[in-house]
Amino acid sequence: MSEFVAAVIQMRSGRDTGANIAAAASLIREAASAGATYVQTPEMTNLLEKSRADLFAKIAPEGEDTGVAAFSELAKELGIFLHVGSMAIRTSEAKAANRGFLFAPDGSLLARYDKIHMFDVDLPNGESWRESATYGPGEAAVVVGLPQALLGMGICYDIRFPALFRAQAGAGAEILTAPAAFTRQTGEAHWHVLQRARAIENGAFVISAAQGGRHEDGRETYGHSLIVAPWGEVLAEIDHDEPGFALATLDLSQVAEARRRIPAIANQREFSIRQTGRETEAAE
């Protein structure tokens, strides 16, 4: 099958994991009813909570997590590939994982991915984020085989690290993903250009479901969930920050065509860096 329908789910996750899972499930059902056979939810589908103490009071190890069980059952019920962009999963008393899950139509877990790049930044508007204080970074990139295509898993801040997506494309990935909870400030500046750049430079589809709006913990996210084609066209967008879903039909032949027209992956070469310029002053 060279074509299939993909959907992005946009959410405004809050502090109640049960309510968040229910909200996601409702939108997933709507997207599946509209014809989607692959559905993606955003980063932190199960919980957005700034307070570290409150976060750890609400999350569980993967084997005990109610969201993992619920989404597995939902994928099976609907007969879809369900990509839960990420959930907060306890890995120890002191650390959690920002972990994405991809469930098959029979409910089995096809792949999991722990976010590699931690969002440790101080923004010009005074916002300060230290993701590494709570979450342990992943160590491995993930490419998973679907019947339609190979799919590379990423999460949010990963989108700013082109080497991750180039490595996935080099391994054969035709679909790249970056489900996110982008801050409004960085989203307004960079969201669209980053998504389109990763698509264009790799000749791949990019699918990124997003959080949007003002959340219960006070943060504000950008929304604008996107599906981008290999030539850089935006195929689907939720053009606001409200919850909802959007669909697009992906024609996988466009990947081969884009890579034929601009064979950047095939033309890539290893190189060294030679540093030249003004010499430093000799020590006195």
Whole-angstrom distance, CA of residue 203 vs CA of residue 142: 18
Which residues, 6 or more positions from 209, have their beta carbon under 8 angstroms from its beta carbon? 8, 9, 10, 11, 40, 41, 42, 85, 179, 180, 225
Q: Is 76 a catalytic residue?
A: no
* Catalytic status, residue 115: yes
- Catalytic one of 49, 115, 174, 237: 115
Amino acid at residue number 262: I
Distance CA 196, CA 280 (A): 41
Q: Which of 43, 49, 174, 237 is the catalytic position?
A: 43
89 alpha carbon, distance to own chain's centre: 16
Catalytic residue among 49, 156, 174, 237: 156
Half-sphere exposure of 65 (CA within 13 A, CB side): 26
DSSP track, 102-149: EE-TTS-EEEEEE--S--EEE-TTS-EEEGGGTBPPP---EEEE-SS-
Run of H or E residues at 208 = strand 205-208
Alpha-carbon span 241 to 103, nearest angstrom: 26
Considering only CA atoms, which of 172, 171, 211, 205 is closest in space to residue 191?
211
Q: Is 62 annotated as catalytic?
A: no
Active site residues: 43, 115, 156
